[in-house]
Amino acid sequence: MEGGPLLSDWWVDESKKFVAYLNISAQLEDKPDQKLMREYDLRGFPSFVFLDDSGLLLFGKEPYWRPDSALALGQGLAQVGELFELRKLVQQNPGDEIARARLTLIEGLLDPSRADLEKMDAAVKIAGVPEELVEEWAMTRIEAKFLSIFEPYRSAFQKKSADRDAKKTAAIEGCYRMWVAGEKLASSSNTFRPFLVLTFDGALLAEDAKVAGNCLAMYETLFGSHDRFLKGMKTRLEKMVISTGKVEVGSIGGGRE
């Protein structure tokens, strides 16, 4: 960092509160630590985050944060410290339902892709849990459900696993079921595009021309008529419609829910 704060006395003193790990390397694929950037969706250099020993990102991703002063580092440590105090409280008082529920919600909201939906849903029903946590989970739940469906497929795809086709089928079926049940991500979500594409694929698999048409129309509206995937999506829907004869080809993509 500019100005050399890592060599400052205040950094040396504060760093005794955590295990410092510095990765100073170029953004090259053969550097093993570069996978951390992809794993935590970090998009710039330098990036600074706090992780626990399980790899859970505790603080630093949003908003953009740099520990380049004693005040900035102290603010980050304070955020992390509150979580560790709560973990300690739960460990010492396992019968404290409110503390356990708070911890479940806070940790789940930190990484919705690893959240246990059943435990999170049970936690919000505990009397005394802060209302802001309940409200935040209500807004995050649909995305967390999508991530629980999507992440196994994405991981298998990235690793080129032998079961990636089976994982993809599970993902498209799961997203289609979410859509039919009315559990739709907000279009402003960073994960809306893969959700929409997988739902479209699920609708094709289920031979549901209405849902596929609505997904296609929404995709074109959001990403433009010149999107490189749009032509292929239209062709696949037309083939499904012709093979099933469920709707007129001219109505493809023209509907709205």
Q: Roughly what angle, to the nearest 10 degrees, separates helices 192-205 and 230-244?
A: 20
**In this structure, are 150 and 247 located in the same domain?**
yes
**In this structure, are 230 and 162 located in the same domain?**
yes
pLDDT tens-digit map of 172-209 = 999 999 999 999 998 988 899 999 999 999 999 999 99
**20 in a structural domain:** yes
**In this structure, are 166 and 238 located in the same domain?**
yes
Least confident of 28-42, 115-129, 130-144, 169-183: 28-42
| Structural domain containing residue 74 | 1-88
Instruction: Tell me what pLDDT residue 4 has.
Output: 60
**In this structure, are 156 and 235 located in the same domain?**
yes
- Domain end, chosen from 40, 56, 88, is at 88
**111 in a structural domain:** no
**112 in a structural domain:** no
**117 in a structural domain:** no
pLDDT at 255 over 60: no
Looking at the structure of the chain, the number of domains it has is 2
- Confirm if 184 and 158 have CB atoms less than 8 A apart: no
Flag whether the pTM goes above 0.85: no
**22 in a structural domain:** yes
Cα distances from 32 to residues 22, 23, 171, in angstroms, run 13, 10, 29
Which of 45-54, 82-91, 248-257 has the largest mean confidence? 82-91
pLDDT tens-digit map of 235-249 = 999 999 988 876 544
Instruction: Tell me what pLDDT residue 115 has.
Output: 84
- Domain end, chosen from 41, 59, 88, is at 88
pLDDT tens-digit map of 207-241 = 999 999 999 999 999 999 899 999 999 999 999 99
**126 in a structural domain:** no
- Domain end, chosen from 45, 60, 88, is at 88
**234 in a structural domain:** yes
Q: What end-to-end distance do the CA atoms of the chain give, in Å?
A: 50
**110 in a structural domain:** no
